[in-house]
Chain A
Amino acid sequence: MKFASKLVHYDPAPGDPFRPMSTPIYQTATFEQQNVDSRGEYDYSRSGNPTRHVLEEQLASLENGTRGFCFSSGMAAIANVARLLRTGDEILADTDLYGGTCRLFSRVLDRSGISVRYADAGDLQSFAAMFTPRTKLVFIESPTNPLLRIIDIAAVADLAHRNGAWLCVDNSLMSPYLQTPLDFGADFVIHSATKFLGGHSDLTGGAVVVKDASLAKQIRFLLNAEGSALGPFDCFLLLRGLKTLKLRIDTQQRNAAAIAQFLQNDPRIKQVLYPGLDGSAGNQLQRAQARGAGSVLCVTTDSVAVSKALVDAVRMFHICVSFGSVHSTISLPGRMSHASLPPEIAAARALPPDLVRISVGIEDADDLIEDLSEALSKARPAARSADIP
């Protein structure tokens, strides 16, 4: 079955005697047992819940995995995968990661004696040199966030496996509609379901999808042991949001391409980072491993003051962290989503301070472009007057 069909064509309530079109919300903590010794499929919602089960199966199917698991947030999903490591193990991560992921790796896992090394996964040769016998997990995003560099997933998977490590790919920026990392050898795909999967800015959630049965067993064990599963109502919202994943992303991506084109031709913009632009770095690789460039793009203006004034001047773009919503959003990653970077990492990453990240929604592209154009006209003079002491 093609992806668009898979989004809506699945059993929303397996075994349900009433055959509802929409998955019932099992907002319950416990399930009655037949007797002391025998219990049914479910006993306690931390361990398993029918609403969550439908969502987990659907995500596994969309990501071409075998098992999916849903968490209360994307960070809970990443933390769960990281929990597979033991004291002394190392994580090798790409340099350009979501700030919260870096915070977890550098400031939380270090307490358990797990260390992290960052290296540019776009440079396979130097990345390969960073492996040690203790490297257990390789963690990347592609496209990376926020610089939108494209990492060769198959090549990194191969490197990881040759070094006895797992590869985990954060696929939040693409969604399974545009990219299925398990097909390229990744061992874990993780999602912040808050982003494109939910798509409506109405829930916080995360997911882990795997192919390997023994990994599935370990993730499931930890999910139950630590109790970080997504609640039934949020599972329902996510199931509802997923049905329009393709519709949303098709529109968002079309809008993003038009905006990228407009910004690239605008002299007030220094640089546009968007893997969908012909001739952009990573454009070929992106075409090879993904089915689109997505709808997140970044620009630089050569001036922090202009960037800040731009973000302040737009009217149709909400200033907020997160991305992937039906609403267009805009942010200064250096001050917002990536402000949690430990200082030494922030210094090493050299995130351009004038970097503006735009997540394009489903509004009319002309309206968005007009808004950006007007905001840019205001941003230069505003920034100039702000410079005057």
Chain B
Amino acid sequence: MPTRSSDVSTLAIHGGRTLDPQTSSLIFPLYQTGIFVHDAVGVDKGYSYSRVSNPTVDALEKALGALEGTPPAVCFRTGMAATTTLFLSLLKAGDHAVLSEVVYGGTIRLFREVLDHLGVKSSFVDTSDLQAVESAMTPATRIVFVETPGNPTLKLTDIAGVAPIAKRHGCLLAVDNTFLTPVLQKPFELGADISVLSTTKYIDGHNATVGGSLAARDEVLLERFRLIRKTIGAIQAPFDAWLTLQGVKTLPARLRLHCENAAVIARWLEAHPAVARVYFPGLDSFPQKALAERQQSGPGGIVSFELKAPSETAIKMLNSLKLCLRAESLGGLETLLTHPPSTTHADLDPEYRRRIGISDGFIRISVGLESARDIIADLEQAFAEAGIGAHAQEEPHEVR
């Protein structure tokens, strides 16, 4: 078994490895069962009912815990089930949460449509501004939830800066680490108490499953998450857990290539005359480059950009793609493009959307593992199709 100091590539393959107890099967078996038999009344082997726990889900939880540097994580049917369980576990009526305003739209909807109705208060603030975080704290605040890089503008929050504020107010700090995963960003080493992942994204990496996880160093917290998960029935399914477990093994290798490809695409976009602005932590022009270098060990595979064009042109460009796919979600092998104002962040109030930097021509790319040259060629033809192609004066861009 790898030690705690093992390199992440080794941890991803061997970390928390659960040897099949019976046959030494190299791949942990898929316990596609709902029920486990009791040896006698009240005597079981640790499993009873797959809504509560399942050996295959446990194997995934150990593997994720090893990557996170925590005890086994708690896995859920979806990333939103993980987020929901997190808040239901820690907040009651009258409690208050502080969240990043640049955050996945579903997290905002969870508060607007569900938690607000249960009397839970929230403040969505610019968590990249530590002063704004400090000002948002109230005596009722129980949790600070940051997403960094934030979806979709990739605005960063200084985890190590927010952690002491949360601590001073007796609050827990949760970090949605979906965009980077523990391979590229280690929230616990930066002072966070809870790590949230949509495993649907890079962790699975093959667009084969939906899933989520919560990790923490505190066993009491983890127990609380398991209790609520059992109560609301949000555990991951065995087959999805099994597929995700296979995906984890190639996570570091995949992320290396995702980052590499994303950097090439970001540079190409930055040189394009139709592009007003590119958001990518690996670019020198990225306003929080120093923070990115301090808190991340890679830029990630997401590149966002703004077209100097209205919504219709952005949509026309997306509809002209031939290789890259139009789809929400991110983190898979296939390059996916999305238009957040009309998809992932469509539910938001237009004013809120503009305030956090999602203009009408805003596009997010989840850069896949195709050849960067082919991705660029596809973007090039789609830009041209939308009438915003690079003109002849542009130097052909050198792609590795």
Q: Which residues of A contact B (CB under 8 A)?
A: 15-34, 40-42, 50-51, 236
Partner of A24, one of B24, B29, B44, B46: B29
Residues of B within 8 A of A42 (CB): 23-25
Q: B399 in the interface, Cβ–Cβ < 8 Å?
A: no
Please give the distance in Å from A230's CB to the nearest CB on chain B.
Answer: 16
Q: Is the CB of A31 within 8 A of B24?
A: yes
Q: B45 in the interface, Cβ–Cβ < 8 Å?
A: yes
Q: Is the CB of A21 within 8 A of B34?
A: yes
Known: A24-B31, A25-B32. A19 touches B26 (CB 8 A): no
Residue of A at shortest CB range from B30? A25
- Of the listed stretches B35-43, B202-210, B225-233, name the one at the interface; the rest are far from the partner chain: B35-43
Please give the distance in Å from B59's CB to the nearest CB on chain A.
Answer: 11
Q: B368 in the interface, Cβ–Cβ < 8 Å?
A: no
Residues of A within 8 A of B25 (CB): 26, 28, 30-32, 42, 50
Q: Which residues, 4 to 22 on B, are CB-close (under 8 Å) to A?
A: 19-22
Contacts A20-B35, A22-B34 known; list 8 others, CB within 8 Å: A18-B55, A20-B47, A24-B29, A24-B31, A25-B32, A29-B27, A40-B23, A50-B25
Assembled-state Cα–Cα distance A25/B23 (Å)? 12
Please give the distance in Å from B296's CB to the nearest CB on chain A.
Answer: 35
Q: Which residues of B contact A (CB under 8 A)?
A: 19-39, 44-47, 55, 242
Assembled-state Cα–Cα distance A24/B37 (Å)? 14
Please give the distance in Å from B20's CB to the nearest CB on chain A.
Answer: 8
Assembled-state Cα–Cα distance A103/B118 (Å)? 69
Please give the distance in Å from B131's CB to the nearest CB on chain A.
Answer: 52
Known: A19-B45, A21-B34, A24-B31. A29 touches B26 (CB 8 A): yes
Most buried by A among B24, B38, B44: B24
Most buried by B among A27, A29, A31, A40: A27
Residue of B at shortest CB range from A30? B26
Partner of A31, one of B21, B26, B35, B37: B26
Residue of A at shortest CB range from B35? A21
Please give the distance in Å from B369's CB to the nearest CB on chain A.
Answer: 24
Assembled-state Cα–Cα distance A174/B25 (Å)? 36
Most buried by B among A29, A32, A34: A32
Residues of A within 8 A of B44 (CB): 19
Please give the distance in Å from A152's CB to the nearest CB on chain B.
Answer: 43
Please give the distance in Å from B380's CB to the nearest CB on chain A.
Answer: 41
Assembled-state Cα–Cα distance A62/B33 (Å)? 23
Residues of A within 8 A of B23 (CB): 26, 31, 40-42, 50
Residue of B at shortest CB range from A236? B32
Q: Is the CB of B242 within 8 A of A27?
A: yes
Please give the distance in Å from B39's CB to the nearest CB on chain A.
Answer: 7
Query: Could you name 5 residue pairs across A and B whose Cβ atoms are closer than 8 Å?
Result: A15-B22, A19-B39, A21-B35, A30-B25, A31-B25
Q: Is the CB of B47 within 8 A of A27?
A: no
Residues of B within 8 A of A24 (CB): 29-33, 55
Residue of A at shortest CB range from B55? A18
Q: Is the CB of A26 within 8 A of B29?
A: yes
Q: Is the CB of A33 within 8 A of B24?
A: yes
Residue of A at shortest CB range from B44? A19
Residues of A within 8 A of B46 (CB): 18
Assembled-state Cα–Cα distance A19/B43 (Å)? 12
- Which 3 A/B pairs are nearest by Cβ-Cβ distance? A28-B27, A22-B33, A25-B30
Assembled-state Cα–Cα distance A173/B199 (Å)? 46
Please give the distance in Å from B209's CB to the nearest CB on chain A.
Answer: 15
Assembled-state Cα–Cα distance A29/B246 (Å)? 13
Residues of A within 8 A of B21 (CB): 16-18
Known: A18-B45, A18-B46, A19-B37. A28 touches B31 (CB 8 A): no
Assembled-state Cα–Cα distance A26/B28 (Å)? 7
Residue of A at shortest CB range from B21? A17
